[in-house]
Structure 1
């Protein structure tokens, strides 16, 4: 398992926590992302999980609604 695996998992499952750096590290530690990645790789579902990346909640709004 690599740091890229952890990052890709968070990007797919909880993209909100990708920044700032402290939030990302706390999320990875608090939610045992390493354990989840390991279990997904053993089940053979890791690639399918990271293939379905979610849009961050703030990215769902139309620009004209934000401005």
Structure 2
């Protein structure tokens, strides 16, 4: 079911689950501990990024991607 990005007042609806999904897709390193997660969300203006992504229709594409952690790439290159 398609849900429009804005509500009746023209505001973008952003839930806590949207923020968690965004961070887990884009920067999973910051999921724990709690303080790091809050600092990441505030410092990198995640709410505004979600708002823009929802307005442009890219939100679902972004959260469906799972980026490989940077340290996994380093370890793999050291092995090979």
Cα RMSD of the aligned pairs, angstroms, is: 1.6
Gaps of 5+ in 2: 1-13
Match of residue 18, structure 1, among 20, 23, 31: 31
State yes or no: 1:38 paired with 2:51.
yes
How many residue pairs get matched?
A: 63
Q: CA deviation at 1:36?
A: 0.2
- Normalised by the length of structure 1, the TM-score is 0.82
Greater RCO between the two (CA within 8 Å, min separation 6)? Answer: 1
- Normalised by the length of structure 2, the TM-score is 0.69
Residue 27 of structure 1 aligns with which residue? 40
